[in-house]
Amino acid sequence: MKKISLDNQAASPLEPAVLEAMLPFFTEHYGNPSSGHELGNAPRKALEGARASVAGLINAEPREIIFTASASESNNLAIKGLLAANRSKGNHIISSSVEHFSVLNQLKTLEKEGFAVTLLPVDQYGLVNPVQLEQAITDKTILVSIQAANPEIGTIQPLDDLVKVAESKGVPFHTDAAAAAGWIEIDVKKTGVALLSLAGDQFYGPKGSAALYISQKTRIRPLIEGGIQERGLRAGTENVPALVGLGVAAKLASETMAQRVKAITLLRDQLKERLLENVPHLHLNGHPKQRLPHNLNLSVQFVEGEALLLRMNMAGIYVSSGSSCTSQALKSSHVLAAIGLPPELAQGSLLLSLGRQNNAEEVPYITEQLAAVADLLRRMSPLYHQYLKEVQNNA
């Protein structure tokens, strides 16, 4: 059977060049970058090369890049680290209602510790309004943290405008760019963010490879204290192979972003149109234009997401959903709730994320299978039967 992954944001196969670059650092160049002898040379050089490549992806200076092991770690280091270094300056944090849990869950903890948190609402497309940000900032505000793009509905925030507002009030801005980095142009110098999180596995790099950009004027405290790796901001022996992989992935992303984005946008739009034509009662979630090029989020009305996911899986197509049953916490997507999607549509949400292994020849099969699965599940759906009755009654 054909196997088609449309869940590339959850995981995607490495670029072959990435794995190839990593392998020698498991074997010949296994040394510790901190070593004072020859065995430390190749890993240390490779690490600094990777740092320069990551910096290049977002137009930062190499010394502004701190390596971590996940976007979650970067987000925790950014927020907790900045607050720890700026305790005396205020106690108010502004974020948005569509952030990833690695931002939202720390904010809950910080609230218990006495911080005041404002979560800005979003519009029906998932956009934060710069005017609302401006109104929310007080003289106690010490941090604004708003994502660059939403991993679920794909919506890209007006980052430049948002940062400008925060900057005009002198408040440092963190952006969780885990979903965005590698897929949209980011220029930290132009944008003026203080902190930016990114993760290699979102652009064909390895798991366990991530980074935090910390602008030169920004002071933070480490989360993991110990040795003076990463300028003392993140202790622990560096995971050289993973970080080498991150470097190569960042370099490839920088060099080929335009082509990648063009190709995948074309494919995504083709898939979207075919699906909307052939499967009735589909709803597009997120912004129609300002969205990640590889992301498509649809609600399949009248059916539940896990059943959809399992049925698609039986057809060899791997997708994801924002339904309660597919979330490990058994809660339906807070993002879909934040854009005001009715619960029924949230439960039937389908996240399709494309990757380098997808191609146009797959589109007909995907379309045919989703149409069949939606039909099959609808035929056993009480909501669909109710809908049909209402249509009949109105006719």
Partner 1 sequence: MPEYSDKVMDHFSNPRNIGEIGEADGMGEVGNPVCGDMMKFTIKVKDNRIEDVKYLTFGCGAAIAVSSMVSEMAKGKTLEEALKITNKQVAEELDGLPGNKLHCSNLGADALHKAIEDYMEKQGVKGENAS
Ligand X SMILES: Cc1ncc(COP(=O)(O)O)c(C=O)c1O
How many of the other CB atoms lie within 10 Å of CB of 238?
Answer: 21
Which amino acid would we find at residue 299? S
Which residues are tagged catalytic? 325
Q: Which of 126, 71, 128, 76 is nearest to 105 (CA)?
A: 76
Which of a copy of itself, partner 1, ligand X, none is residue 176 near (CB under 5 to 8 Å by kind)? ligand X
Residues found near a copy of itself in the complex (CB under 8 A):
5, 7, 10-14, 19, 22, 26-27, 30-32, 34-39, 69-73, 75-76, 100-103, 105-106, 109, 199, 201, 206-208, 221, 223-228, 235-242, 306, 309-310, 312-313, 318-321, 326, 328-329
- Footprint of partner 1 on 18-77 (CB under 8 A): 35-38, 40-41
Which of partner 1, ligand X, a copy of itself, none is residue 304 near (CB under 5 to 8 Å by kind)? partner 1
Whole-angstrom Cα distance, residue 201 to residue 11?
7
Q: Is 330 in the site for partner 1 (CB under 8 A)?
A: yes
Which of partner 1, ligand X, a copy of itself, none is residue 382 near (CB under 5 to 8 Å by kind)? partner 1
**DSSP-assigned states of every residue in 7-70:** BTTT--PPPHHHHHHHGGGTTTT---TT-SSGGGHHHHHHHHHHHHHHHHHHT--GGGEEEES-
Provide, rounded to whole angstroms, the least separation between the CB of residue 41 and partner 1.
6
Q: Identify which of residues 133 and 149 has a Cβ nearer to ligand X in the complex.
A: 149
Q: Which two tokens stand for residue 70?
A: 């996940």
Contact 204, 18 (CB under 8 A): yes
- Footprint of ligand X on 196-235 (CB under 6 A): 199, 227
Provide, rounded to whole angstroms, the least separation between the CB of residue 227 and ligand X.
6
* Segment interacting with ligand X (CB under 6 A) among 59-67, 70-78, 160-168, 346-354: 70-78
Q: Identify which of residues 152 and 238 has a Cβ nearer to a copy of itself in the complex.
A: 238
Whole-angstrom Cα distance, residue 17 to residue 95?
37
Angle between helices 240-278 and 362-379 (to 10 degrees): 70
Q: Is 303 in the site for partner 1 (CB under 8 A)?
A: yes
Which amino acid would we find at residue 163? V
H helices then E strands: how many in the chain? 13, 12
Whole-angstrom Cα distance, residue 334 to residue 319?
19
How many of the other CB atoms lie within 10 Å of CB of 166?
Answer: 25
Which of ligand X, a copy of itself, partner 1, none is residue 228 near (CB under 5 to 8 Å by kind)? a copy of itself
Provide, rounded to whole angstroms, the least separation between the CB of residue 114 and a copy of itself.
13
Whole-angstrom Cα distance, residue 212 to residue 228?
16
Interaction site with partner 1 (CB under 8 A) = 35-38, 40-41, 302-307, 310, 313-314, 323-326, 328, 330, 332, 342-344, 347, 379-383, 385
